[in-house]
Amino acid sequence: MQLESLPDGYRALVIGASGGIGSAIADAIAGDSRCGSLTRLSRRVDGLDVTDENSVAAAAAALEGEWHLIFCATGALTIDGRGPEKSIRQITAEAMMAQFALNAVGTALLIKHFSPRLSRRERSLMAFLSARVGSIGDNRLGGWMSYRASKAALNQIVRTASVEIGRTHPQSVIAALHPGTVATSLTEAYAGGHERMAPERSAHALLSVLDGLQPDQSGCFFAYDGSVIEW
């Protein structure tokens, strides 16, 4: 696939590039002949810890120049062996804080340190992996309170940041994206009867959606099929 909305020779950065979706996103971009430069960052390879501001700041400071696409594919459903709660009775402060540290605070730190690297002169895109279960309006099943709440917080962080970034980067689009139920280690134990799509299919779909978004759609929450998800 090709990202037609970005300038020829665009520069791309994928954060969380060693994960199932992140690696598929990076591989899809690498296959785009219009991409002039691709950088991959991850905790596994580069030691980037999005819950540690010093680590995030150092990673951003090591980059040079402006970027047209920053795709942040970080986040987790199970942390330190703790999966999502099935009941209110299973809530613990430690597990909830860990979810917020990674999925919400980590997102805010990435925006703080990496968004200044977005191109001001040309179109730029910054995307974050969210999840449909982070939608407050779409929540009809309950459960997974910590993960749901952390993703809802991520959505608010993206929305708020898009307003400020839009003032200095008028051609920018900042978006929260739901990748679908993807066949990765994150979903293996929780997919239930849901069909899981290949990471490559999700990656191509997400990049296609992102490529078609306009600045007046910045700060919104989209599914991999392009539909808008309610907050």
Q: What are the pLDDT digits (tens) for 100-126?
A: 999 999 999 999 999 999 999 999 999
* Tokens (6 digits) for 166: 């839009």
Residue 4 lies in a domain: no
Q: Does the residue 112 lie in any domain?
A: yes
Domain-embedded: residue 153? yes
Residue 36, domain extent: 10-223
CA 79 to chain centre: 17
pLDDT band at 1 (very low <50, low <70, confident <90, very high): confident
Instruction: Indicate whether 99 belongs to any domain.
Output: yes
Is 57 a member of any domain? Answer: yes
Q: DSSP readout, 210-224?
A: HHH--GGGTT-EEET
Q: What is the pLDDT of residues 24-43, one digit of tens each?
A: 999 999 999 999 999 999 99
Tell whether 2 is covered by a domain: no
Residue 139 lies in a domain: yes
The encoded tokens of residue 152 equal: 């809802």
How many separate domains does the chain show? 1
* CA nearest to 117, candidates 216, 39, 190, 46: 39
| CATH classification at residue 75 | 3.40.50.720
Is residue 171 a part of any domain in this protein? yes
Strand duo 35-41 + 124-129: pairing: unpaired
pTM, to two decimals: 0.95
**Which one-letter DSSP state was computed for residue 138?**
T
Model pLDDT, residue 20: 93
